[in-house]
Structure 1
């Protein structure tokens, strides 16, 4: 075994280039000259003669030292290149952090600007109302003054309520953007920590190489382990992995946007644009008297119209209060419904009995919020079908279509007149129709197919999937995203896919739940605030989307 010469027994050795002359054999006191490859040990000539004859393979110790130094030196360029790449990551992390922050800040600015305008509009309304009240009060002096003061007090109270509603909505949206910003910051900070860890690892490797290069014995004994450790650490493609994460963070942050619009005459705004993760946040029990519940549509943000398929009774379930109220006692089969404004609901229906004339009546009905009939709207009848589907577009117009026909009617709710007839080419209505905010219409044209058409009847996209048998499609009115509910036979669950209006499937199985009645129609509905409402046969299920990275 190699060691230092013992004191008092020093052997005068001829200096040899690149070799530590104080390194000798513990057993024989002879200089270390050779290296046994078979036993991985440094030896002197005596050791070689006595214990390391063939089949041992012997190398000159200087060659071994030279080779191992050369192996270590070969790693230096790769180490330097890795250090350069790590330096570039610092700049990239900061750039992405700044870019993501700008994107979030831009959304916040848009939210603030929008709600500042709305607050200004409400405050202007207050000024106008006060001015009108003052003008009227001046005419009647004392008596009018008393009434004016009361009216101003009521007006201020009303405006304060409206302002508070707007401020609450703004605060909710700003809170959502803050939460998203915190997710982005946490992710980028994690990447910064990963970068620092790798940087420290490289620094330790360099320090170890410098140390073992100082003595031949240390070099020979520790170089293999150092080389193996270096190779393991340098083989990690840190630059590529971190860069990929940064690209995804930036891409997801840039998806975030503020969307707004009117649905059913009411204003809605929210933070959206990302795919996100859907979480079940509430289950609402449906009373057992509703033997076979079928969702017909949201008639407000929180109210779902549900029909009992056994006796045709119609109910409304409030998602917030979880109360269910019967609103129609049998006698009508609803296919679809939608709010026109805060006071009126339109329903498409399947009419009982035979229809023989050229007009189809009692298949589109307007109801007030107490579900009292306001009036029926008549459309042309084509063929023998007596089933009509309806929806309401962003302009408050009713769109209605008869099952198994190619014509879709746009109806002005002010006078019940048909203002436009849209005719599909080569296709017929086979189920629900949905209006997009762009003006286009999504039509179920087969058991597993949906067609997007323009107001002129031009086909713009065909959305189809073999797995969507017996499916139903409903549209997010603010983003035009399609949510298609169907029975996933492979997983034995009711499933929902997310699809763009261009027909691109963005996410599969975003929501999955078992259904008590496998023969039931699978459907889901989307609230104006972007929540999904499903039904498993016993309960309404409310899902909300959260931002994830």
Structure 2
């Protein structure tokens, strides 16, 4: 250790100063009282001449104290440019944080404005509908005074109730969507705040290091003793890669936010809308048990956002499970010569089912397409030409509410008017056959299962637009999100494990394994991942219907 060297007034001879060393720093040995002249590298301490000759002989390596001071000042000065450069980079990142935060807020504000504008129009249209209906009712009521007036008042009341219900539904949807955008906005704000705090902490650290360097440079003893720790702190805290990590995070935030969009389309005769566009994360939010009287569950489709069709593949009974109430009800008694291949809602009142029948004969497929009302009473059967002997038809509904129907192992897809059952157009594929389900895209194109693990996108003229294939998809099923034209392929991963991949309509895989689940021990028929109109996903593990919801993540 070293102490203050005695001054001339205390009776000692004044010491000669050296460049870079004030010579007032003396040895702490009371018997020496000499100025510090050396630095022992072995023991890492400053010493005087007597210390050097007595206690620090070889193998100690001694350096002139002035050289040590000069060297350590130089080391600290060399770090100054690095500190300055780091401060500039951190300040640039802070600027980018501000820019991305502003950009994200503006984009989400634009989405909100679009949402607000759309729902304002809906409320306005609902109100105009009410006014128009009341006017028509009043005109009819003028024909008969008392009787029609009574009837008019009743209809007005019913009309008001219906419109009020519709307005309530619109407002509830608007509230739900605004809540979704707020959740996304909160997630972005949280991430931005985290980055801001990290940058501020880094800037504060740099300021503290600079302050420490200024302080220790004022005294040689402090400089020599504390410089190694300061240098170590600089090496630990100063990293030029830090700003790049933050920049990458900001770019990811901006990219994910710009994916967010407000989507709207008509599905099953009902206008559906939601906040979508981002990949997000799928979380299991509900499990609905399938009753034991459904011996071998198979899920051919859904008829609303809440109602899932479940067939007993053993005896062909058809059930509907409401995933909100978790109630399962039989709607069709099965027969031995018929089962359901597919189903879809045409509008709020009508459902279409595709069937496989073993008793259909002749040159027409009779009873393989059936329309039902919402109470599952048959409206009519629709017949299409028979081109083979498989007696099995798959159906779906396009954006215009028309039925798409195709016989298995054939190349024709029929576009049918559900109002009269007439074929209005025939789509013929070249060199391909329908080997499973067909799905309509909002663009008008059709996704067709044309192989064991292959799907082909065709236009209404039969032109092949994309072939979607993956060797990992063994026995697979495909469903389409009709609001975004996103495809979801369900397949067996290994053993009892299944997964769902998300793809764009041109076949680009956007995310692998967004949903994974394990089949139960209960016998069941492999089912697709259903896409509800409001964006949820439903899969069947044989024992339960599993409902997944997407959340926004960064």
Q: What's the TM-score bracket when you normalise by the shorter of the two chains?
A: over 0.9
Separation in 1, partners of 2:510, 2:547: 21
Residues 524 and 542, structure 2, Cα contact 8 Å, conserved in 1: no
Partner of 1:18: 20
Residues 408 and 421, structure 1, Cα contact 8 Å, conserved in 2: yes
Partner of 2:427: 422
Q: CA deviation at 1:460?
A: 1.6
Separation in 2, partners of 1:51, 1:160: 98
Residues 470 and 522, structure 1, Cα contact 8 Å, conserved in 2: no
Separation in 1, partners of 2:124, 2:16: 96
2:284 to 280, 283, 287: 280
Partner of 2:157: 153
Residues 453 and 460, structure 1, Cα contact 8 Å, conserved in 2: yes
Partner of 2:239: 235
Range 181-190 or range 135-144, more displaced: 135-144
Matched, 1:443 2:473: no
Matched, 1:42 2:42: no
Residue aligned with 1:165, SS: helix
Separation in 2, partners of 1:399, 1:149: 43
2:351 to 341, 345, 359: 345
Separation in 2, partners of 1:132, 1:311: 51
Aligned residues: 547
Residues 296 and 524, structure 2, Cα contact 8 Å, conserved in 1: no
Over residues 443-499 of structure 1, what are the superposed CA-to-partner deviations in whole Å (9 max), with x where a residue is unaligned?
111111111111122222222222211110111110111111111107x41211111
Q: CA deviation at 1:519?
A: 7.2
Separation in 1, partners of 2:250, 2:12: 62
Separation in 2, partners of 1:147, 1:522: 50
Separation in 2, partners of 1:134, 1:520: 56
2:513 to 497, 505, 509: 509
Q: CA deviation at 1:6?
A: 4.3
Residues 83 and 206, structure 2, Cα contact 8 Å, conserved in 1: yes
Q: Which structure 2 segments of 5+ residues have no match?
A: none
Q: 1:351 to 1:142 in 2, by over 3 A?
A: closer
Matches within 5 A, 1:440-479: 440-479=445-484
Separation in 1, partners of 2:132, 2:527: 50
Over residues 97-149 of structure 1, what are the superposed CA-to-partner deviations in whole Å (9 max), with x where a residue is unaligned?
11111111111111111111111111111111122222233344455444433
Separation in 1, partners of 2:524, 2:327: 26
Residues 332 and 376, structure 2, Cα contact 8 Å, conserved in 1: yes
Q: 1:232 to 1:176 in 2, by over 3 A?
A: same
Partner of 2:74: 70
Partner of 2:490: 485
Q: CA deviation at 1:238?
A: 2.4
Range 89-98 or range 195-204, more displaced: 89-98
Separation in 2, partners of 1:150, 1:385: 53
Residues 304 and 317, structure 1, Cα contact 8 Å, conserved in 2: yes
Residue aligned with 1:34, SS: strand
Separation in 2, partners of 1:10, 1:441: 103
Separation in 2, partners of 1:10, 1:419: 117
Matches within 5 A, 1:79-228: 79-141=83-145, 143-228=147-232
Partner of 1:543: 548
Q: CA deviation at 1:81?
A: 1.0
Residues 494 and 522, structure 1, Cα contact 8 Å, conserved in 2: no
Q: CA deviation at 1:82?
A: 1.1
Residues 486 and 522, structure 1, Cα contact 8 Å, conserved in 2: no
2:536 to 527, 531, 537: 531
Partner of 2:327: 323
Q: Which structure 1 segments of 5+ residues have no match?
A: none
Q: 1:146 to 1:292 in 2, by over 3 A?
A: closer
Over residues 32-89 of structure 1, what are the superposed CA-to-partner deviations in whole Å (9 max), with x where a residue is unaligned?
1111222212122222222323332222111111111011001111111111112222
Partner of 1:405: 410
1:303 to 298, 304, 307: 307
Separation in 1, partners of 2:250, 2:196: 11
Q: 1:227 to 1:522 in 2, by over 3 A?
A: same
Separation in 2, partners of 1:35, 1:25: 11
Over residues 430-449 of structure 1, what are the superposed CA-to-partner deviations in whole Å (9 max), with x where a residue is unaligned?
21111011111111111111
Residue aligned with 1:237, SS: helix
Residues 487 and 522, structure 1, Cα contact 8 Å, conserved in 2: no
Q: CA deviation at 1:9?
A: 5.3
Residues 313 and 525, structure 2, Cα contact 8 Å, conserved in 1: no
Q: CA deviation at 1:151?
A: 3.1
Residues 311 and 330, structure 1, Cα contact 8 Å, conserved in 2: yes
Residue aligned with 1:33, SS: strand
Q: 1:150 to 1:326 in 2, by over 3 A?
A: closer
Residues 298 and 524, structure 2, Cα contact 8 Å, conserved in 1: no
Residues 86 and 240, structure 2, Cα contact 8 Å, conserved in 1: no
Partner of 1:293: 297
Residues 477 and 491, structure 2, Cα contact 8 Å, conserved in 1: yes
Separation in 2, partners of 1:286, 1:302: 15
Partner of 2:270: 266
Residue aligned with 1:377, SS: strand
Q: TM-score, normalised by structure 2?
A: 0.95
Residue aligned with 1:468, SS: coil
Residue aligned with 1:497, SS: strand
